[in-house]
């Protein structure tokens, strides 16, 4: 967005000074439109990556919870088997 503002500011001053031709201004407008399209695509990609990262984090948390539960069960079984047996 900052780039768009800078480009429009440049376009405004260039048109006031009369140093830019119509084809230069049209080219600049096309560049601004392309920059906005690229920024929009980048934002969409970033949002999709954010969703995937959140899903991966949730999966990792679930896997850790399962591993913790399994570890507790194993420790319980080891302690149970090491306890003295009464005859």
In a domain, 64, yes or no: yes
- In sequence order, the 6+-apart residues with CB closer than 8 A to the CB of 11 are 20, 25, 28, 29, 32
In a domain, 76, yes or no: yes
Where residue 1 falls among pLDDT bands split at 50, 70, 90? low
Per the structure, the complete domain to which residue 38 belongs is given by: 2-81
31, pLDDT greater than 70:
yes
23, pLDDT greater than 90:
no
Question: Domains in the chain: how many in total?
Answer: 1
Predicted TM-score (pTM) of the model is 0.55
Per-residue pLDDT, 65 = 98
In a domain, 87, yes or no: no
In a domain, 49, yes or no: yes
DSSP 12-76: HHHHHHT-S-HHHHHHHHHHHHHHHHHHHHHHHHHHHHHHHHHHHHHHHHHHHHHHHHHHHHHHH
Per-residue pLDDT, 44 = 97
Q: Give residue-wise pLDDT tens across range 43-87.
A: 999 999 999 999 999 999 999 999 999 999 999 999 988 877 766
């Amino acid at each position: 967005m900052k780039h768009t503002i800078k480009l429009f500011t440049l376009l405004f001053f260039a048109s006031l000074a009369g140093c830019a031709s119509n084809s230069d201004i049209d080219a600049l407008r096309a560049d601004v439109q392309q920059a906005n399209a690229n920024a929009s695509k980048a934002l969409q990609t970033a949002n999709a990556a954010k969703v995937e990262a959140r899903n991966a984090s949730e999966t990792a948390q679930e896997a850790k919870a399962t591993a913790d539960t399994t570890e507790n069960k194993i420790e319980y079984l080891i302690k149970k088997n090491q306890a003295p047996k009464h005859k």
